[in-house]
Amino acid sequence: MSRCWWMLLTLVGAVSVFADGAVISQVSKGVTLRTDRLGGARFAARPLQLMPPGSKLELPERTRAVVICAGDRAVELDGPTSWQLGTAGCGQGRALTAGSYQRLLPADGRMRDFHGSLFSESRSRSDDKGGLVPVLVSPRSPTFRDVAVRNPKPTIEWTDVRGASNYELNLEAGGGTLRASTVSVQQANCRPDRRIQGLRICSAAWPWEPLTAGQVVELHVRALTSGAESSGEVSKLKLVDSGLGRQLDRELGELATKGFPAATLELLRAARLAEAELFNEAASALFAALEEQPQASVAVRLGDLYLGLGLLPGAQTQYSYADRLLGPRSADYEVLAATRLGLGRIYNERKDPAAAKRELEQAARFYRELGWSEEAREVESEASHLQAGG
């Protein structure tokens, strides 16, 4: 990738939101982005790339791109063609729900904070890396807070534990057990899953009566091994407010009727679901988008969401996948910085300060290459704190 790539990122980083910009939601290999702000330089376009005003997409034959404009309009392009971002170009797009563009904006190399303080909390809850305890995959809540679900009987997913004979699921409220259920290994149907490398994911249908509005419950999962009970994890759940649920049903239903390509549809769904704090559904939509469009920028956004939920194995899997997609010669410093930052925070959670410091220092170096001095200083400070012993 050429020097022009980081020049564009430097330009984009200097202006976090273009009032008349656009975000690429889907793009074929071979499509190039050109901007007069850099003397007409061309470079490869990628998903979740912010387009400056006046820039152009050039699509060869048999390529495709979808662009979400600041006015919440989606423009679908098929090559061969050249399309310029502006009022005329965006005017031909289909109308989207208000806020669609804002929700898809890149995070300028920072951790993608989908809502509030999701990423500022302590996330470590168990030994998630050795397969010693079951790790809740879904429905999963951030530490010290509850998470909303739309389905009153959500499917329960957790990671497999070596040697487990059964799994115990408990539903608790007010310090007491409301319901308990035991699931055998055979019933759990534990299987490899691309969301989490090296661990199998088990699942079970919700075994109890449906959740009710206004009720906050705790879901516990534990493994039974040779008669002994392991420690486990807990998620705090609540059924989404009925008014918001109906609004989301309407918005997502309308979105599904627009006929967008699958990757764009799932990215738009994920952004809206995350805004509503339906983080588990958002993660599923992002994973579906990644399956349709295996791009490092999408993998990083999914990794960021998993990290915010404290699902460290899932986050590490996605950051490592982003690394493989980028390749050793990539100059996409924005995605490289976000990947290294995420890995550094995973190692920090796992009490490995040497590895965390190494990753954070690499993230800071990429920020320096971009000219983003504020981000570089913040990450360097974090790394030096680890060096001093935390």
pLDDT score of 10: 36
Residue where a domain terminates, one of 106, 134, 168 = 106
Q: Are residues 85 and 23 in the same domain?
A: yes
Q: Are residues 80 and 172 in the same domain?
A: no
Listed in sequence order, the residues at least 6 apart from 205 whose beta carbon sits closer than 8 Å to its beta carbon are 153, 155, 156
pLDDT score of 35: 82
Q: Where are the beta strands (DSSP E) in the chain?
A: 22-27, 32-35, 41-44, 50-51, 56-59, 64-69, 73-78, 81-84, 94-95, 136-138, 146-149, 156-159, 166-173, 176-184, 191-193, 196-204, 216-225, 228-229, 233-239
Burial of 354 (0-12, 13-18, 19+ CB in 10 A): exposed
Q: Under DSSP, is residue 65 helix (H, G, I), strand (E, B) or coil?
A: strand
Q: How many CA atoms lie within 13 A of 261 on its CB side?
A: 23
Q: Are residues 81 and 148 in the same domain?
A: no
Residue where a domain terminates, one of 211, 239, 267 = 239
Q: Are residues 67 and 128 in the same domain?
A: no
Q: With contact defined as beta carbons under 8 Å apart, do 279 and 112 qualify?
A: no
Q: Under DSSP, is residue 381 helix (H, G, I), strand (E, B) or coil?
A: helix
Listed in sequence order, the residues at least 6 apart from 87 whose beta carbon sits closer than 8 Å to its beta carbon are 20
Q: Are residues 87 and 4 in the same domain?
A: yes
Q: Which residues of the chain have pLDDT under 70?
A: 1-19, 37-40, 106-131, 143-144, 227-230, 387-390
pLDDT score of 20: 81
Whether 231 is in a domain gets the answer yes
Whether 310 is in a domain gets the answer no
Total domains, the chain: 2
pLDDT score of 39: 56
Whether 250 is in a domain gets the answer no
Domain boundaries, position 169: 121-239
Listed in sequence order, the residues at least 6 apart from 351 whose beta carbon sits closer than 8 Å to its beta carbon are none
- Angle at which helices 296-308 and 312-326 cross, to 10°: 170
Q: Are residues 135 and 30 in the same domain?
A: no
pLDDT score of 387: 61
Whether 216 is in a domain gets the answer yes
Q: How many CA atoms lie within 13 A of 20 on its CB side?
A: 11
Whether 258 is in a domain gets the answer no
Q: The whole model's pTM is what? A: 0.87
How does DSSP classify residue 52? Answer: P
Q: Under DSSP, is residue 223 helix (H, G, I), strand (E, B) or coil?
A: strand
Q: Under DSSP, is residue 76 helix (H, G, I), strand (E, B) or coil?
A: strand
